[in-house]
Copies of this chain bind each other. A is one copy, B any other.
Amino acid sequence: MRVGMLTSGGDCPGLNAVIRSAVLHGIKTYDMEMVGIRNGWSGLIKKDVEELPRTRVRGLARNGGTILGTSRTHPYDTEGGGPENMRRNMRELGLDAVIAIGGEGTLAGANRLAADGLPIVGVPKTIDNDLRGTDYTFGFDTAVQIATDAMDRLRTTGESHHRCMVAEVMGRHVGWIALHSGMAAGAHAILIPEVRTPMEQVAEWVKQVHDRGRSPLVVVAEGFIPEGHDDPLSEAGVENSGRPRLGGIGEWVTREIEAMTGVETRNTVLGHIQRGGAPTATDRVLSTRFGMGAVDLAAQKRWGQMVAANGTDIISIPMSAALKGLKEVPVARYDEAKVLFGR
């Protein structure tokens, strides 16, 4: 059996560990030929591949990024995509199966190809932890750890200067990174897309903390929108179309807090460091197990399925199950964290 693998969408610590364990498990357990497809679906469209002997994955578990490269090309792209082209390219490359490693978009594409009859299995990947059907995916733990380390640092400088520190973390649509890193770092307010906290409430929390002689730490997910504002950045005249852009919600929240409370406030945008570098041990274990699980699915020809984490087990679920809307932070989890806010 000859099995291709691709990584698609934003990169994530743990991708290389998935690739490594899939290659080792495929070769050693099933005597498979393992093939790397370069730069996501684009590589399958262009037939841009490389053989993956075990020497290629040496010592890879601890390396961030993906040796296969990634892109945002869609498998149904009008230029060369679609099930017929993909099937033909797979045949020409001699591929009996494809393991697609990616987030919501990637899995949606993979699921559609599988529905169109292609031999495809999936591995969920999202730094944001927004996929349904799996407790967690790799990359999330690393992102939370990096954000927490940064906040530990922000707190000491905040305390010295009697300032309010704002930390903007990843999370356009869900607030998982903000929730976990904020809880770990002892934040006094956590602002997430799922809960439209009014700025008056945020200002009150900040004042309460400041009044008892401490330096407030406010964690804000990049997709947070306060109550009473439809698009705070546009209102503030910030150009927001495309990237790089000047300023984000962290800057806006910072200005508002300073204006509303009079407490000197500083913003830090953690940005891309949250998705780079060595994965945590937890993410390495999870991605190693995911890589093996995906190879098992391919060996069993369970097309359309993906691996998932369920408690301490790695299970198999239909890719479609992961795609029924984003996994948001439940109200109960936010209320739990809220105990730590403000006064």
Taking the closest CB of chain B, its distance from the CB of A50, in whole angstroms, is 14
Tell yes or no: A266 within 8 A of B by CB. Answer: yes
Nearest CB of B to A217, in Å:
10
Contact residues in B for A343 (Cβ distance below 8 Å): 28
- A153 contacts B277, C-beta separation under 8 Å: yes
Q: Which residues of B contact A289 (CB under 8 A)?
A: 336
- Nearest-neighbour CB distance to chain B for A222, whole angstroms, equals 13
CB neighbors of B among A41-88 (8 A) = 58-59, 61-66, 69-70
Q: Mark A156-199, 1 if CB is under 8 A from B, else 0.
A: 11111110010000000000000011011110000000000000
Q: How far is the CA of A343 from the CA of B55 in the complex (A)?
A: 12
Instruction: For residue A172, give the distance in angstroms from its CB to the closest CB of chain B.
Output: 15
A138-162 contacts to B, CB under 8 A, are: 141, 144-150, 152-162
Q: Cβ of A267: which chain B residues have Cβ within 8 Å of it?
A: 244, 271
Report B-chain residues with C-beta under 8 Å of the C-beta of A10. Answer: 161
Within A274-300, which residues are at the interface with B (CB < 8 Å)?
275-278, 280-282, 284-285, 288-289, 292
A130 interface hit (Cβ, 8 Å): no
Instruction: Decide if A238 is an interface residue (CB 8 Å cutoff).
Output: yes
- Whole-angstrom distance between the alpha carbons of A271 and B163 in the complex? 15
* Given A153-B64, A244-B251, A246-B247, also A59-B160 (CB < 8 A): no
A157 near B268 with CB under 8 A, answer: no
Is residue A21 within 8 Å, beta carbon to beta carbon, of the partner chain?
yes
Which residue of B59, B184, B247 is within 8 Å of A285 (Cβ)? B184
Given contacts A144-B282, A292-B336, contact A157 B276 (CB under 8 A): yes
Q: Which of A39, A289, A339 has the most CB of B within 10 A?
A: A339
Contacts A244-B265, A266-B243, A339-B28 known; A152 to B62 CB distance under 8 Å?
A: yes
| Complex: A149 Cα to B150 Cα, angstroms | 11
Q: A25 at interface (Cβ–Cβ under 8 A)?
A: yes
CB-based contact A59/B155 at 8 Å: yes
CA gap between A25 and B162 in the complex, in Å: 25
Residue A201 at the B interface, CB < 8 A? no
- Contact among B7, B66, B273, B336 for A268, CB-based, below 8 A: B273
Contacts of A340 in B (CB 8 A): 21, 24, 288
Q: Could you pull out 14 A-B pairs where Cβ atoms are within 8 angstroms? A: A24-B339, A25-B339, A59-B155, A61-B184, A66-B160, A69-B160, A148-B284, A153-B275, A154-B273, A154-B276, A158-B276, A184-B284, A245-B251, A280-B280
Other contacts beyond A58-B214, A65-B157, A266-B271: 15, CB < 8 A: A7-B160, A13-B156, A24-B340, A62-B186, A145-B282, A146-B153, A149-B277, A153-B272, A157-B276, A180-B285, A183-B285, A245-B251, A246-B251, A282-B282, A311-B311
A residues near B, CB below 8 A?
7, 10-11, 13, 15, 20-21, 24-25, 28-29, 39, 58-59, 61-66, 69-70, 135-136, 141, 144-150, 152-162, 165, 180-181, 183-186, 214, 238, 243-247, 251, 254-255, 258, 265-269, 271-273, 275-278, 280-282, 284-285, 288-289, 292, 310-312, 336, 339-340, 343
